[in-house]
Amino acid sequence: MMYPFLQLEDGTEIVHSEMRQDGTVKVYIEKPVEGGFFSATCYLPKYVWEHVEGFSDADIERYQEILESTAHLIIRFSQEGGFENAANF
């Protein structure tokens, strides 16, 4: 299951998985563009990027900064069923 986390001003959406058995969290980033989507997957907590399609290196650097500043929240929410189910938020 993927949980919504953040939507950026340009329509880019960031969603995340539940924490997996190996302690990682899959973060999926998708941006609508004419004719489809740009997308990328990042695995926390090591910030391993895979399947980057359409995004530039500068885009990935920006998303890396966003994830670094919010990873503690994503990891917490991944253990609590997403933002909607997180206690104390």
Average pLDDT over residues 20-30: 96
Is 16 contained in some domain?
yes
> Can you tell me the distance from the alpha carbon of 26 to that of 15, in angstroms, rounded to the nearest whole number?
8
Range of the domain at 42: 2-81
Q: In the numeric block, which tokens belong to residue 57?
A: 């290196």
Is 14 contained in some domain?
yes
Is 27 contained in some domain?
yes
Is 20 contained in some domain?
yes
Question: Could you give the number of structural domains in the chain?
Answer: 1
pTM over 0.85: yes
Is 26 contained in some domain?
yes
Is 86 contained in some domain?
no
What digits encode the pLDDT tens for the residues 40-81? 999 999 999 999 999 999 999 999 999 999 999 999 999 877
SS3 annotation, 28-44: EEEEEECCEEEEEEEEE
